[in-house]
Amino acid sequence: MALGMVIGLSACDVAQSVFPVRANEAAAEIEELETSVEVVRLTAQNIATYDRPRHPRGGHTTLKSQGGWTYRVGTGDVLDIVVWDHPELTMPAGDRRTPEESGLKVKADGTFFYPFVGQMPAKGLTPDAIRKNLTRALSEFIPDPQIEVRVVGYNSQSVSVTGKVNAPSRLPLSDIPMTLLEAIDAAGGLTEEADPGAVTVRRGGTMYAVDLEAFLEHGSSGNNPLMVHGDVVNVPEREVAEAYLLGQLVTPATVDLSKDDVTLTQALTRVGGLDKNKSDARGIFVFRETPDRIVVHQLDASNPVAFLLGTRFTLQPRDVVYVTTAPLTRWNRVITNLLPSIIGVKNAASVGN
C-alpha cells in the first residue's frame, strides 16, 4: 500500500520555483496540511550532519567475549573410563554396543558409581579432574593405575537457535568450542529472510545484540562470540528498508537499504541519474519524516560538484527522493503537492506495522 502511494508521487509533474528555496514562501500553504515542515538546503557546512552510516564497518555487539572454552561434566553426560591392564574395570563396548551405551552416566546428584571406590563426583569437573580423582581413589586397590576418562555422551549442556534459520534446534555443547556462526550453521544456516546484523543472544537473563554480519563481511572477530550453556540465539527477519526515488529520473524505482548504506548520489546513479531533458538539477529534494515534522532537504546540483555533497548524505528508510521538472515556477507549489502523498505513506506504513 505504501509503495503504491509513493509511486503516485511520480504523477506530481509540477514545476518548481526560483532557487534557493525559502520555507517562508510556502508557509501559508503548508500550514493547512497540519504538519510542521522544515526546509534544509544541503551545503558543505551542514553535510557532515547527514554523513552517518546505518551499517558501520565493524558492527556493534554488546556480548563480551568469554575467553577460552573448557567443558565441564554435567548431569546426564556419559563417561567412558578405561583402566589399562585391568579389563575387569573397563566396560567393553563390543560389536553391538557403542561407548555411549556401555558408558557410565552421571546421575542427578552429580556422581557416578565405579567399582571399588563407589560414588565419584563428576558434575562441574573436567574429564582430567575426574581422572585424577579416580586415580587417587583406585591407588588404594591397584598399584599405579593408568586411567583414561573421556566424555562420550554430551547431554548436559546446550544452546538453542531460533528464528530465521533453516532448522531451529537445540544443539549440544562438547569439548570443542562452538562459536555463534557454527551454532547457526549447525541449525541449517541462515534463510534468505534472515538479518545477521541484528542477531540476539539471551544469556543469564540478559539480552545481547550481536552484529554477525560484521564478522561475515568484515571479519570482526568480536562479533562471532563463543557459545556457553543456556545461550538462546535468535536470528530475526530482515526488516524492509527502502527509499523511494521519483520524479524526473531515467528509471524511478525503490532502493534497498537493508544490507548496505546508500548515499543520495549512489541512489541517483543506480536509477540511471537525472532525466536530462525534463529535470531541473537544482531541485533534488529528499523528504524525511521525523517524530515532530517533515524535513525537506534540497540539493542544488546545477554544479556537478554538488554531487560530492550527495556522497555524504546517507539515505534512511522511507526517505522519498524527488527530482523536479523544468522550467521553473513556484517551489512552494511543488512542496504542497507532494506533502499529502508523503503523509499518506507515513499513515499507510503505520497501519501496516
Of the listed ranges 86-95, 100-109, 117-126, 137-146, the one predicted with least confidence: 86-95
The answer as to CATH 3.40.50.970 being correct for domain 78-153 is no
Nearest-angstrom CA–CA distance, 90 and 134: 13
Residue 335: predicted pLDDT = 62
Mean pLDDT over 286-307 rounds to 89
Q: How many alpha carbons lie under 13 Å from residue 275 in its C-beta half-sphere?
A: 16
Whether the predicted pLDDT of 349 surpasses 60: no
Q: Using the predicted structure, report yes or no on whether residue 85 has a pLDDT greater than 90.
A: no
Return the amino acid letter for 245: L
Q: What is the pLDDT of residues 202-260, one digit of tens each?
A: 998 899 999 998 888 877 778 899 999 999 999 999 888 899 999 999 999 999 988 78
CB atoms within 10 A of CB 87: 10
Q: Name residues whose C-beta falls within 8 Å of residue 255's C-beta, 6 or more positions apart in sequence.
A: 242, 243, 244, 245, 262, 267, 270, 271, 315
Residue 6 and residue 244 in contact, taking contact as beta carbons nearer than 8 Å:
yes
Predicted pLDDT of residue 278: 85
All three cell numbers of 188: 541449517
| pLDDT one-digit tens code per residue, 16-70 | 334 445 545 544 445 545 567 888 999 999 999 998 877 665 567 778 777 788 9
Task: Please give the pLDDT value at position 9.
Answer: 44
Distance of CA 329 to the CA centre of its chain: 46
Q: How far is CA 168 from CA 186, 188, 199, 207, 303, in A?
A: 9, 8, 14, 19, 54
Residue pLDDT, tens place only, 252-282: 999 998 878 899 999 999 999 999 888 888 8
Give the residue with greater pLDDT, 247 vs 95. Answer: 247
Start-end ranges of CATH 3.10.560.10 in the chain? 2-54+261-352, 158-235
Under the banding of pLDDT at 50, 70 and 90, the label for residue 4 is: very low
3-state SS of the chain is: CHHHHHHHHHHCCCEECCCCCCHHHHHHHHHCCCCCEEEEECCCCCHHHHCCCCCCCCCCECCCCCCCCCCCCCCCCEEEEEECCCHHHCCCCCCCCCHHHHCEECCCCCEEEECCCEEEECCCCCHHHHHHHHHHHHCCCCCCCCEEEEEEECCCCEEEEEECECCCEEEECCCCCCEHHHHHHHCCCECCCECHHHEEEEECCEEEEECHHHHHHHCCHHHCCECCCCCEEEECECCCCEEEEEECECCCEEEECCCCCCEHHHHHHHCCCECCCCEEEEEEEEEEECCCCEEEEEECCCCCCHHHHHCCCECCCCCEEEEEEEEECCHHHHHHHHHHHHHHHHHHHHHHC
* Residue 21: closest CA among 280, 319, 345: 280
- Predicted pLDDT at 149: 94
Does domain 2-54+261-352 bear CATH number 3.10.560.10? yes
What pLDDT was estimated at residue 323?
92
Q: What is the reported pTM? A: 0.67
Share of the chain above pLDDT 90, in %: 52
Q: Quick one: how far is CA 353 from the chain centroid?
A: 20
The ranges of the chain annotated as CATH 3.30.1950.10 are 78-153
As a whole number, mean pLDDT of residues 142-154 equals 92
In this structure, are residues 97 and 91 in contact, taking their beta carbons and an 8 Å threshold?
A: no
When pLDDT is cut at 50, 70 and 90, the band that residue 97 belongs to is: low
CA distance 70 to 77: 15
**CA separation (Å) from 96 to 19, 45, 349?**
88, 79, 63
Which CATH number, 3.40.50.2300, 3.10.560.10, 3.40.720.10, 3.40.470.10, labels domain 158-235? 3.10.560.10
Closest C-alpha to 237, from 198, 264, 263, 279: 198
Instruction: Tell me the average pLDDT of the chain.
Output: 83
